[in-house]
Amino acid sequence: MSEADDETIHCDRHGPAKMAFVCQHLVGGSGLGFWCTDNGPYPDAWCGDCDDLMMQTGEWTEEAEKIAGIRVICHHCYVNIRRRNRVRREKPSP
């Protein structure tokens, strides 16, 4: 996503904003898990199921990318999606 980091898009909800990329499942999901690369403030992100699929092959295959259905979103939507999909770990019982 290096060249796209500085690109802006028009979001119907937020207006002009930075571009970000997430799997289609995260867009409308909640509590799906949130995995991402470690590059930039809004790194490419995917859900737990997409991560499981990618881990089975050890890389992003054409099939995995097709299932992920990457969507372009704005950085404001990204922040909301990340918050909604992060899975909180429960504290162990005493």
Burial readout 25-54 (b: 16 or more C-beta within 10 A, e: otherwise): bbeebeebbbbbeeebebbbbbbbebbebb
Task: Determine the Cα–Cα distance for residues 50 and 19; give it in Å rounded to an integer.
Answer: 21
pLDDT tens digits, 49-63:
999 999 998 999 999
Which of the two residues, 59 and 6, has the higher pLDDT score?
Answer: 59
Chain mean pLDDT for the chain: 89
Chain segment 67-81, per-residue pLDDT in tens: 999 999 999 999 999
What average pLDDT does range 13-32 have in this prediction? 96
Supply the pTM of this predicted model: 0.83
